């Protein structure tokens, strides 16, 4: 008798990322990808980070020892810069909407809620007459499809160098508010840096951690479990 071969299963992070991408593509976004090893222009400068911003410090960023001016990307926002640069160089004009799933790296002390590597999903929509209302609708529609119709969201003012105004976005789920992502209207300097007419076009960007969404969806107690290679993770 032939030995039964057990079928593998998708990793919880893969499931969550694929589900999120599917929802956003149904909402009209296309998927973009880019490098994990990035130069400082695409990771910081083009995104309106000043030279003395704390994120550039060794405490937050992995700089490459033998490749001056390069870092392990700290967010997937670098891809929106690559996308918009290429878009404008090809003579194309907005509108466009993209989502960027991928791994990012930050020099953090690890614990149950923090890791030095994690997955992020960035979103970007640029066009004419796009407002915070469009952003709020897209995010609310995503979370309704991802977590259930009982979801609500709220925006709280916050600061990020690449958006103005900027917001922390809280999601009401399982009878409590959870801070899940940052978002805002793309700063005119970012559009200008990428060759997009900042006087004619505007748009929004958002980014959230896919690990955090997987923890919420599958009630996983420790973010470090995602990266330990333990097949029992599939129990969640």
Q: What is the CATH number of the domain that holds 80?
A: 3.30.930.10
Inside any domain, residue 97 = yes
Inside any domain, residue 211 = yes
Inside any domain, residue 9 = no
User: Which residues of the chain, if any, have pLDDT below 50?
Assistant: none
Inside any domain, residue 35 = yes
Over residues 55-73, the pLDDT tens digits come to 777 668 999 998 999 999 9
Q: For residue 228, what is the DSSP state?
A: S
Q: For residue 45, what is the DSSP state?
A: G
The answer to whether the CB of 75 falls within 8 A of the CB of 120 is: yes
pTM score: 0.91
Inside any domain, residue 130 = yes
Domain of residue 102, residue span: 29-229
Which strands sit side by side in the sheet containing 176-186, from one edge to the other?
30-31, 96-105, 117-127, 202-209, 176-186, 163-173, 152-158
The answer to whether the CB of 187 falls within 8 A of the CB of 196 is: no
- What the block records as the tokens of 92 is 């194309």
- What the block records as the tokens of 154 is 């709220």
Inside any domain, residue 190 = yes
Inside any domain, residue 136 = yes
User: Can you give the pLDDT at residue 79?
Assistant: 98
User: Can you give the pLDDT at residue 234?
Assistant: 64
Inside any domain, residue 73 = yes
Rounded CA-CA distance 235/227 in Å is 15
Structural domain count, the chain: 1
């Amino acid at each position: 008798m032939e030995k039964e071969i057990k079928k593998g299963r998708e990793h919880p992070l893969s499931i969550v990322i694929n589900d999120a991408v599917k929802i956003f593509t149904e909402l009209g976004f296309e998927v973009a990808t880019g490098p994990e090893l990035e130069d400082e222009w695409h990771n910081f400068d083009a995104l309106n980070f000043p030279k003395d911003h704390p994120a550039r410090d060794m405490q937050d960023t992995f700089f490459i020892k033998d490749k001056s001016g390069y870092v392990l990307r700290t967010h997937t926002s670098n891809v929106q810069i690559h996308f918009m640069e290429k878009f404008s160089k090809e003579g194309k004009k907005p509108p466009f909407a993209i989502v960027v799933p991928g791994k990012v790296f930050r020099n953090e002390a690890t614990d149950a809620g923090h890791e030095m590597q994690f997955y992020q999903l960035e979103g970007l929509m640029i066009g004419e007459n796009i407002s915070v209302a469009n952003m709020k609708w897209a995010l609310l529609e995503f979370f309704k499809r991802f977590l259930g119709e009982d979801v609500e969201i709220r925006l709280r003012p916050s600061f990020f160098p690449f958006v103005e105004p900027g917001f922390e976005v809280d999601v009401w789920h399982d009878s409590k508010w959870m801070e899940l992502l940052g978002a805002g209207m793309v700063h005119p300097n970012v559009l200008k840096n990428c060759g997009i007419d900042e006087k004619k076009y505007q748009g929004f960007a958002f980014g959230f951690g896919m690990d955090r969404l997987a923890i919420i969806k599958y009630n996983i107690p420790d973010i470090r479990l995602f990266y330990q290679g333990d097949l029992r993770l599939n129990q969640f």
